[in-house]
Amino acid sequence: MTELPVAGRAHVRRAVAGLIRDDRGAVAQMVLFNALAAIAGLAGPWLLGRIIDTVTAGPAPVGVVDRLALAVLLCTIVQIILARTALAVGYRFGERTAARVRERFLDRALALPASVVERVPAGDLTARGTVDVGTVAATLRDAIPEVLIAAVQALFVLVAVFLLDPLLGAVALLGLAGIPVVTRWYLRRARTAYLEEGAAGSVLADELASTIAGTRTVEALGLRDRRTAVADEAIHRARHTRLRTLSLRSVLFPAVDVSYVVPVVGVLLVGGALYIDGRLSLGAVAACALYLRQLAVPLDAILVWLEQLQSSGASFARVEGLAAIPPAVVTERAAPAGDRIEVRGVRYAYEGDRDVLRGVDLTVRPGERLALVGPSGAGKSTLGRLLTGVDRPRAGSLTVGGVEISRLPPGLLRRQVVLVTQEHHVFRDAVRDNLTLAAPDATDDELISALAVVGADWATDLPDGLDTRLGGDGFVLDGAQAQQLALARVVLADPHTVVLDEATALLDPTTARDAERALAAVLHDRTVIAIAHRLQTAHDADRVAVMDGGRLVELGTHDDLVAAGGTYANLWRTWHG
Ligand SMILES: Nc1ncnc2c1ncn2[C@@H]1O[C@H](COP(=O)(O)OP(=O)(O)OP(=O)(O)O)[C@@H](O)[C@H]1O
């Protein structure tokens, strides 16, 4: 998988229905308060119609008109109070639901298999977790309550017109027919357009982030023009997709504005004829016209939010897309019986069926130091990832103590075998939290002694000790300290086997010496599988496994392999010579 999936319409609809169901009490309250507000709102035009009829019927006592006017005022106040209550309930519903969407996204993102996270563009996952989740949250907080309220109001207004006069109701409905036509036209195009806009935004974020992260490389290799051209292309695409959604809105809004006037004109024309015929009072015609003018407010609200609903529908589809990724398979609960690692007939492909491991067999003896050597691209790192459960083989098996490694739950896996590379992530959190990731139940004494094993005494000297926050505004670690922290995690996880992949390759020589001392302390009494780029490591190992073209081609001690005069002997001669 090289791209994160996007959820289909049916999935998004089900997800929205689920969110509403989870807080149905709040939704019911919102609808109730709003229905009452709408009823109070309907009283105004009807009372105004009564005033007109009272006045046109002849001289009316001032007290009657005053009482009707007072009732208009009262109804307006009640309507405002009820509508504000409905909105407050709606906002609370929106905030709660937005928090649930955020939590669910985080849970799903954390449950993604490492192999997926590594392969999909980092910018896409980040954009979904920030921009898209933000858009969905804003919609749930603002748009959903307002749209629901507006829909109830619009429905009640139309019912009121029908109750006053069914013919005028029919005229009003006919006059409004243009709105669904233009809205349908818009909706048909909007989802794709907004999805394209979101995808273009992700690509742009990804390109800019990778250019900024690699500034030094860009400058060193003179790649500025090429990176600028790539960024220009991404900006151009983002601009193009934004213009497309803008052009859709430019048709929708003017067309709808005109559509509001049509039913009012129709009702006045037909209502006027009915009044002249004496079949309808002037007050009823005026009330109908006022209702239809009133209709513009909720319909406008719906249409304004429609755009937000479209863009957030696309965002929600991207957020929900994570649900389509099968979680890492963790089914094995049985504890491994022993420390022996067996690799049998392992095949693995990153893409399609282009195998980069092509039938590897290997037994790692508990306690041994095994060096994995071979030319670049032979498959050493890939085998290392499979041995540590980061990825699963396409065929064959990798077991520890008879249990499939990739099926072990994380807590059990990290007590068996751990991968140590040159990438050490330091979380913006306290030193303690950075360490207990590897051993949630470790005591402070255990954390301090793990730090001591790797020579990280600086950590205990920090102003707030284990509570000191790292990264960002906190204490910033240098490369060697970050690695010590990572190695302290290995000590705490206490696996019987460690796979080393270029663990100290990026450090400068002085730091590398310290790091290697720390590493030696960590590796003491453990089985070590070292992906060796310097053949000195192979020379010092108990056995050497030689890989070439995705296969294990030689296995034995350094002396035996040199004596055999094969691939390893050639590598050794080249390196030594
Ligand atoms: N993420 C990836 N996506 C696609 N192909 C990959 C990926 N990682 C590695 N490969 C390919 O798999 C093959 C084996 O790569 P691997 O990194 O395991 O070899 P290696 O022996 O460790 O090489 P090196 O010593 O250069 O690290 C290579 O052809 C490589 O191009």
Which atom in ligand 1 lies closest to the alpha carbon of residue 378? 21
Distances (CA, A) of 297 to 27, 249, 286, 350: 22, 18, 18, 55
- Cβ of 223: how many Cβ atoms within 10 Å? 14
pLDDT, tens digit, for every residue of 167-220?
A: 988 888 888 888 888 888 888 888 788 888 888 888 888 888 888 877 777 777
Tokens of 351: 């893409």
Residues 6+ positions from 8 with CB-CB distance below 8 Å: 317
Mutation test residue for ligand 1: of 120, 376, 381, the one with most atoms within 8 Å of CB: 381
Closest CA to 330 of 278, 220, 407, 404: 407
- Please state, rounded to an integer, the average pLDDT across all residues of the chain: 85
What is the distance in A from the centroid of ligand 1 to the CA of 571? 19
350 lines ligand 1 (CB under 6 A): yes
According to DSSP H, which parts of 112-130 are helical?
A: 114-119, 122-127
What is the distance in A from the centroid of ligand 1 to the CA of 425? 22
- Can you spell out the DSSP letters for 362-405? EEEPTT-EEEEE-STTSSHHHHHHHHTTSS--SEEEEEETTEEG
Q: 9-324 adopts what CATH topology?
A: ABC transporter transmembrane region fold (1.20.1560)
**Among protein residues, the one whose CA lies closest to atom 17 of ligand 1:** 381
**What is the three-class DSSP state of 333?**
coil
Closest CA to 42 of 64, 72, 87: 72
Q: Are 552 and 361 in contact (CB under 8 A)?
A: yes
What is the distance in A from the centroid of ligand 1 to the CA of 350? 9
Half-sphere exposure of 497 (CA within 13 A, CB side): 27
Rg (CA), the chain: 35
**Among protein residues, the one whose CA lies closest to atom 12 of ligand 1:** 356
550 lines ligand 1 (CB under 6 A): no
What is the distance in A from the centroid of ligand 1 to the CA of 550? 10
Q: How many residues does the chain have?
A: 577
Which atom in ligand 1 lies closest to the alpha carbon of residue 547? 21
Give the C-alpha separation, 419 to 389, whole Å: 9
**Among protein residues, the one whose CA lies closest to atom 18 of ligand 1:** 379
Which atom in ligand 1 lies closest to the alpha carbon of residue 374? 21
Q: 341-576 adopts what CATH topology?
A: Rossmann fold (3.40.50)
390 lines ligand 1 (CB under 6 A): no
Is residue 549 left, alpha or beta, with left meaning phi > 0 and alpha meaning psi from -120 to 50? left
**Among protein residues, the one whose CA lies closest to atom 25 of ligand 1:** 376
Q: Between helices 24-56 and 144-164, what is the axis angle to 10°?
A: 40
What is the distance in A from the centroid of ligand 1 to the CA of 379? 6
Tokens of 344: 């049998």
- Can you spell out the DSSP letters for 60-96? --HHHHHHHHHHHHHHHHHHHHHHHHHHHHHHHHHHH
377 lines ligand 1 (CB under 6 A): yes
The strand pair at 527-531 and 497-501 is best described as parallel
Which DSSP state fits 324? G
Give the C-alpha separation, 31 to 33, whole Å: 6
The pLDDT value given to residue 199: 86
Which DSSP state fits 418? E
The pLDDT value given to residue 481: 84
421 lines ligand 1 (CB under 6 A): no
Distances (CA, A) of 340 to 210, 362, 402: 41, 11, 8
**Among protein residues, the one whose CA lies closest to atom 9 of ligand 1:** 382
Tokens of 29: 């309250």
381 lines ligand 1 (CB under 6 A): yes
Query: Exposed (0-12), middle (13-18) or buried (19+): which is 21, by Cβ within 10 Å?
Result: exposed
**What is the three-class DSSP state of 331?**
coil
The pLDDT value given to residue 545: 94
Distances (CA, A) of 487 to 425, 453, 494, 559: 12, 9, 10, 31
**What is the three-class DSSP state of 223?**
coil
What is the distance in A from the centroid of ligand 1 to the CA of 351? 12
Q: Are 455 and 517 in contact (CB under 8 A)?
A: yes
Phi, psi of 322 (to 5 degrees): -65, -25
Q: Along the 577 residues of the chain, how does pLDDT read in single tens digits? A: 567 888 888 898 899 889 889 989 988 898 888 888 888 888 887 888 888 888 787 766 767 778 888 888 898 899 899 988 988 888 888 889 888 988 988 888 888 877 777 777 777 888 888 888 888 888 887 787 778 878 888 888 888 888 888 998 888 888 888 888 888 888 888 878 888 888 888 888 888 888 887 777 777 777 778 888 888 999 999 999 999 989 988 888 888 888 888 888 888 999 889 888 888 888 888 888 888 888 888 888 888 787 778 778 888 898 898 888 876 666 667 788 888 999 999 999 988 778 999 999 999 999 999 999 998 889 999 999 999 988 889 899 999 998 999 888 888 888 899 988 877 778 888 889 888 888 888 899 999 989 888 888 888 888 888 888 887 777 888 878 888 888 899 999 999 999 988 766 555 666 667 777 778 888 888 999 999 877 888 888 899 999 999 999 999 999 999 999 888 998 888 877 6
375 lines ligand 1 (CB under 6 A): no
What is the distance in A from the centroid of ligand 1 to the CA of 558? 25
pLDDT, tens digit, for every residue of 55-69?
A: 787 766 767 778 888
Angle at 14 between CA 111 and CA 182, to 5 degrees: 125
**Among protein residues, the one whose CA lies closest to atom 30 of ligand 1:** 377
127 lines ligand 1 (CB under 6 A): no
Q: Which helix (H) or strand (E) holds 358?
A: strand 355-364
Query: Exposed (0-12), middle (13-18) or buried (19+): which is 90, by Cβ within 10 Å?
Result: buried
376 lines ligand 1 (CB under 6 A): yes
What is the distance in A from the centroid of ligand 1 to the CA of 356? 8
Phi, psi of 174 (to 5 degrees): -60, -40
Name beta bridge partners: 369.
528
The pLDDT value given to residue 365: 92
Give the C-alpha separation, 525 to 45, whole Å: 87
Closest CA to 492 of 576, 418, 567: 418
Query: For tokens 């002694």, what's the residue?
Result: 449
Which atom in ligand 1 lies closest to the alpha carbon of residue 384? 18
Q: Are 453 and 519 in contact (CB under 8 A)?
A: no
Query: Exposed (0-12), middle (13-18) or buried (19+): which is 437, by Cβ within 10 Å?
Result: middle
360 lines ligand 1 (CB under 6 A): no
What is the distance in A from the centroid of ligand 1 to the CA of 365? 25
What is the distance in A from the centroid of ligand 1 to the CA of 381? 7
pLDDT, tens digit, for every residue of 311-321?
A: 788 888 988 98
- Give me the residue spans of the domains in the chain: 9-324, 341-576
- Can you spell out the DSSP letters for 273-301? HHHHTTSS-HHHHHHHHHHHHHHHHHHHH
What is the distance in A from the centroid of ligand 1 to the CA of 573? 25
Which atom in ligand 1 lies closest to the alpha carbon of residue 382? 18
374 lines ligand 1 (CB under 6 A): yes
What is the distance in A from the centroid of ligand 1 to the CA of 531? 13
Q: What is the pTM of this model?
A: 0.63
3-state secondary structure 504-563: CCCCCHHHHHHHHHHHHHHHCCCEEEEECCCHHHHHHCCEEEEEECCEEEEEECHHHHHH
Mutation test residue for ligand 1: of 354, 360, 376, the one with most atoms within 8 Å of CB: 376
Angle at 92 between CA 87 and CA 95, to 5 degrees: 120
**Among protein residues, the one whose CA lies closest to atom 4 of ligand 1:** 350
Q: Are 259 and 183 in contact (CB under 8 A)?
A: no
Which atom in ligand 1 lies closest to the alpha carbon of residue 350? 4
